[in-house]
Amino acid sequence: MAVTTHTTGAPPLPAHPDPQLDAILGSGLPHELSYALDGPFHLLMPDRFDANAAAFKQALTEAGVEGRVYYAKKANKASAWMDRCALSGTGVDVASAGELRDALGHGVRGENVVITGPAKAEGLLRVAVLQGCLIAVDALDELERVIAQAQATTRPARVLLRRLPPAQPHSRFGLDDQELTSALARCAEAGERIVMEGFSFHLSGYDTRARADLAGELVDLCLKARVLGLHADRISIGGGFAVDYTAAEHWEHFLSEQRPDDYHAGKSFAVSDFYPYHSPVAGPDALRAILTTNDLAGRLREAGVMLLLEPGRALLDRAGCTVFRVQGVKDRPGYGIVTVDGSSLSLSEQWFNSEYLPDPVLLPAHEPQGEPYAACVGGATCLESDMVTWRKVRFPARPAVGDLIVYPNTAGYQMDSNESPFHELPLPPKVVLDTAGGTTRWRFDRHPLA
Ligand SMILES: *Cc1c(COP(=O)(O)O)cnc(C)c1O
C-alpha cells in the first residue's frame, strides 16, 4: 500500500462547524444504527426545522409584516416535517395529490396548504378545493378547471394567480401580462365560486433584489385587482432563500484552486453548475434583505398585503445528514477509491451534472492510523458514473472497511429527490432524532412495519 503519495486531493470545503451534530456523531449512535440497519441511512433533526421556521417568522415580525411560511415539501419527503408543520401552524407547499395527502394526513390543515406546480391534476384540484387550500393558478385553462371544481363541489376556490417573472421570460411557469388581464376578468366574472386572494411567483436563483422588485409589482397588482372587486390581500414570493453551507474563505479557495486532477478520472464540472455553497446573505437574512429593499415591508403594510413565502432548502438547513458505511478501499496512483454501501441516488446533486461539495466526514470504527489520505467515493453499483463524490477528498487517514462516511447538511434536496432501489439496494431509511426532555432518542420517520 503506497501511503505517502495519497496526501493531495481537492481543496478542503468543510461545512460550518456544528457542535450538536458533532456530539451525535461522536456518541456511537451512527455506528450502532449502521449495524442495525445494515445499509446507509439519513439522520433527521426536526428541532432544527422548527428553529428555521421560527427564524423566518421572526424576520416577518421584526419587519412588522403579516406573513405566512409554507414549507416546500418537494425538498424532502420525510413525515417528520409534516408533524412539525401541523403542530406549529407552519404551512406546506405541495404540488401533487400524494404530497397533499401526506400533509393532510399528518394534520396540516387544508387552509394552511398552498398548491403550486403546473397544470395540476384534476384529483389534486378537487381535494384542494374541498379542503380550502390556496391554489396558485398557473394557466388560463387551469383557472377554468378550478372554477369547474368550485362549481361541482359547491365550495369557493381560493386562488392566487402565478406571475410569469418578466426577468425570466423563458420560464414555463406563470401567466404573462395579457393572460393576467384575462384571468382577473375571469375571476371577477366567476363571482362567489372564486376567492382571488392575490398573486405569486417563484424565481430560480437567489437574488434578493429580483424578489423584492417583483414583490413590489405584485403589491401594485393587488391594488388593481381590488378595483375589480377582488379580494387580493396577499402575495407569495415563492422559495429560493439560499443556504450557507461553508465559510467564504473555503469557498473562494476551493473555486480558485480546484482542477480536473482533483477529481477521479479527471472529471470536471462547470463551476456555474455548482450550488453556491457559500452565501453571505442566506435563509431568514435573505428575507430581511428582501423586506428592506425599497422598503417592501412598508409597501406591504400600507397596502394591507400579507407576505407568503415557500422556503424548501432553507427550512432544512442543518436539519439532517447522510451516513454511508465503507465497504471497500483500493489504491490508485496518488489517491484511493472508497466504495460505500449505497449509491449516488441518495445524494442527488450528481443527477444535476454537479457534485455535493461540503466535505464528507470520516467516522472511523477504530482509532485511525497513518497519514492523511485523499479518496473519491463510489457507490456499490456497477455503473462507472455512480460516484457519490468524484472529488478526491482529503480524509485524515485511510478509510477502512466498516468506517462511516457522513455527508453533512443533506436534508435539503439531497436525500430523496432521486432515490431509487436501483440494483435492488434498499432505500436508505430516515432516522429521526427527537430531543424532547433533554435526551436524544431515535425512531424511524415512517415505521417500517406500519
Ligand atoms: C421548489 C419551489 C419552492 C422551494 O424552493 P427552495 O429553493 O427550496 O426554497 C418554492 N415554491 C415553488 C413554487 C417551488 O417550485
Ligand 1 pocket residue status of 116, Cβ below 6 Å: yes
Do 223 and 331 fall within a single domain? no
Residue 3: pLDDT over 60: no
What is the mean pLDDT of the segment spanning 99-118?
A: 98
Whether residues 91 and 232 fall in one domain: yes
Q: What pLDDT, on a 0 to 100 scale, did the predictor assign at position 352?
A: 81
**Tens-place pLDDT, residues 87-102:** 999 999 999 999 999 9
| pLDDT above 50 for 1 | no
**Distance in Å, CA 239 to ligand 1 centroid:** 4
Ligand 1 atom nearest the C-alpha of 238 is 11
Residues 6+ apart with CB under 8 A from 187: 143, 159, 161, 194, 196, 225, 228, 230
Q: How confident is the model at residue 329 (pLDDT cuts 50, 70, 90)?
A: very high
In a domain, 251, yes or no: no
Whole-number pLDDT of residue 5: 53
Q: Which of 315, 341, 375 is the last residue of a domain?
A: 315
Alpha-carbon distance 43 to 55, whole Å? 22
Query: Does the residue 256 lie in any domain?
Result: no
| In-domain check, residue 449 | no
Q: Which CATH number goes with the domain that contains 73?
A: 3.20.20.10
- Domain membership of residue 356 (yes or no) is yes
Query: Which of 99, 113, 116, 208 for a ligand 1 pocket mutation test, highest count of atoms within 8 Å of Cβ?
Result: 116
Task: Please check whether residues 33 and 51 belong to one and the same domain.
Answer: no
Ligand 1 atom closest to residue 310's alpha carbon, by position in its atom list: 10
Residue 146 and residue 122 in one domain: yes
In this prediction, residue 398 has a pLDDT band, given cuts at 50, 70 and 90, of very high
pLDDT at 431 over 60: yes
Residue range 114-121: average pLDDT?
98
CA distances from 97 to 1, 93, 115, 124, 397 (A): 54, 12, 10, 5, 48
Same domain, 284 and 324: no
> Does the C-beta of 312 come closer than 6 Å to ligand 1?
yes
Specify the 3-state DSSP secondary structure of 68: strand
Final residue belonging to a domain, choices 299, 315, 331: 315
> Maximum distance among all alpha carbons in the chain?
78
Instruction: For ligand 1, say whether the CB of 174 is within 6 Å of any of its atoms.
Output: no
Note whether 295 and 348 are same-domain residues: no
Residues 85 and 213 in one domain: yes
* Residue after which a domain boundary falls, among 300, 315, 330: 315
Say whether both 377 and 240 belong to one domain.
no
Whether the CB of 163 sits within 6 Å of ligand 1: no
Same domain, 286 and 422: no
CA dist 240 and 242 (Å) reads: 6
> What are the pLDDT digits (tens) for 264-322?
999 999 999 999 999 999 999 999 999 999 999 999 999 999 999 999 999 999 999 99
pLDDT tops 90 at residue 38: yes
Looking at the fold, whether 344 and 417 belong to one and the same domain comes out as yes
State pLDDT tens for residues 286-302: 999 999 999 999 999 99
Tell me whether residue 205 is in a domain: yes
For position 325, which CATH number holds? Answer: 2.40.37.10
Residue 259 lies in a domain: no
Q: Are residues 206 and 90 in the same domain?
A: yes
Q: Are residues 35 and 53 in the same domain?
A: no
Contact partners, residue 339, CB within 8 Å, separation at least 6: 326, 327, 328, 329, 330, 377, 378, 379, 380
For 219-257, what is each residue's pLDDT tens digit? 999 999 999 999 999 999 999 999 999 999 999 999 999
Please state whether beta strands 361-363 and 404-407 pair in parallel, antiparallel, or not at all (unpaired): antiparallel
Using a pLDDT cut of 70, give the percent of the chain over it: 98
- For ligand 1, atom 10: residue with the closest CA: 239
For the Cβ of 238 lying below 6 angstroms from any atom of ligand 1, the answer is yes
Q: How confident is the model at residue 119 (pLDDT cuts 50, 70, 90)?
A: very high
* Atom number, ligand 1, closest to the C-alpha of residue 200: 13
- 411 CB within 6 A, ligand 1: no
Does 56 map to a domain?
yes
Give the count of domains, the chain. 2
Is the pLDDT confidence value at 161 over 50? Answer: yes
* Residues pairing with 395 in the sheet: 373
Task: Give the whole-angstrom CA distance, residue 389 versus residue 376.
Answer: 6
In a domain, 89, yes or no: yes
Average pLDDT over residues 427-445: 94
pLDDT at 64: 98
Range of the domain at 86: 46-244+279-315
